[in-house]
A = this chain, B = another copy of it.
């Protein structure tokens, strides 16, 4: 098998099935596309998710939930949304009665995820929730339980797990194609010049470990296919006047049951996005590994470079399809919870200066 074919096969094998089966057991006729309502119209909804709906085939932008009337008006015109599909935070729960909306996509600051995921679940809607899932393990568990109790699905917006480049990366590590994974070095950060964004506010779920750190954590977890058993961590800042409440730069080190070790860095002060993995018989590099406009890299088995139209479209389509087919989600709430469990341990380790066992 040629190297290129080999790597192609890696990705295909890692992707969920793309055959569409329209029938779901329901008293209503099966939909061909799910209607999605975005909750929270900040940068990610406005500049990333809304444009991604150009590429979706299994779902479409059906509604919005916003606290800003001016935004409601803009979106209504731009996306030709019916008035009845536009909600604010107060009347949001009436979405229960709206058959156009199948899925509520929560794109709010992390501190608001718990409330809105639970309200969406109680309204009988499936839920997509952005990463990080929530500030605490308790939040995540409550969100998972609410979705179970209300018999709706909960997907976390880890778009990279839907990216064939990340899937090739995962397969190389988990199937030990280059031997055991031994060392992961992973860096995710960008320079954030803002001073009063939710990312800088503890009460809103800010802190770099939540926002960018989970990418570096995923970089390590995904390739090993394991959960860390011990963590150490250190916080640093070069802008103490801004990063008073939350971390600007965090280093963390993870030990996995197999013996693999990860050395990770995340920052709101440094532009960096790469990972390097050393295995018994080879290596893998991705750079970038968590960028919106496509991940790419190479390994001792060959190049990893799959072009896709839109990570977010692929993520929403695959999640919508799984819901319509009654199949397991690629990234369910439990996966978001796994990260937050480690994030809590990392904050504890940094605060106490001690290793935390998991």
Tell me the A residues contacting B by CB distance below 8 Å: 182-183, 185, 187, 189, 232, 234, 236, 238, 249, 251, 253, 255, 259, 261, 263-265, 267, 269-272, 274, 276, 278, 283, 353-355
Min Cβ gap A213→B in Å is 13
- Of all chain B residues, the one with the shortest Cβ separation from A182 is B270
Establish whether residues B255 and A261, one from each chain, have CB atoms under 8 Å apart when the complex forms: no
* Inter-subunit contact A263/B185 (CB<8 Å): yes
User: Which of these, B182, B238, B251, B264, contacts A259 with CB under 8 Å?
Assistant: B238
**Measured CA separation A263–B267 after assembly (Å):** 13
- Chain B hits for A263, CB < 8 A: 185, 187, 251, 263-265
Contact in complex: B355, A355 (CB < 8 Å): no
A251 touching B249, Cβ below 8 Å: no
**Inter-chain contact B253/A185, CB cutoff 8 Å:** no
Contact B183 A265 (CB under 8 A): yes
CA distance A225 to B219 in the complex (A): 31
Interface contact B276-A355, CB-CB below 8 Å: no
Nearest-neighbour CB distance to chain B for A130, whole angstroms, equals 26
User: Other than the known A187-B278, A251-B261, what 13 A-B pairs have Cβ atoms closer than 8 Å?
Assistant: A182-B238, A182-B267, A182-B270, A183-B189, A183-B265, A183-B270, A185-B263, A185-B265, A236-B255, A263-B265, A272-B276, A272-B278, A353-B355
Q: Which residue of chain B has its CB nearest to the CB of A186?
A: B185
Point out the residue from B255, B261, B271, B354 that lies within 8 Å of A278, measured CB to CB: B271
A27 → B minimal CB distance (Å): 56
A269 to B261, CA, bound (A): 12
* Residue of B whose beta carbon sits closest to that of A282: B271
Residues of chain B within 8 A of A264, CB atoms compared: 263
Name the B residues within 8 Å of A267 (CB-CB).
182-183
A276–B238 touching, CB < 8 Å? no
**Alpha-carbon distance A269/B276, docked complex (angstroms):** 16
Per the bound structure, the CA–CA distance linking A326 and B189 in Å amounts to 48
How far, in whole Å, are A271 and B178 apart by their CA atoms in the complex? 13
Report how far A278 CA is from B272 CA in the complex, Å: 7
Complex-state Cα separation, A276 to B44, whole angstroms: 29
Contact check: which of B232, B265, B271, B274 meets A234 at CB < 8 Å?
A: B232
17 A-B residue pairings within 8 Å (CB atoms): A182-B270, A183-B189, A187-B276, A187-B278, A232-B232, A234-B253, A236-B261, A251-B263, A261-B265, A263-B263, A263-B264, A270-B278, A271-B278, A272-B276, A272-B283, A353-B353, A353-B355
CA distance A355 to B276 in the complex (A): 26
CB pair B274–A276 under 8 Å, yes or no, is yes
When A183-B187, A187-B183, A269-B182 are in contact, do A261 and B274 touch as well, CB less than 8 Å?
A: no
CA distance A276 to B186 in the complex (A): 11
User: Closest CB of chain B to A8's CB: distance in Å?
Assistant: 26
A191 (CB) vs chain B CBs: closest residue: B280
How many Å lie between the Cα of A238 and that of B255 in the bound state?
Answer: 11
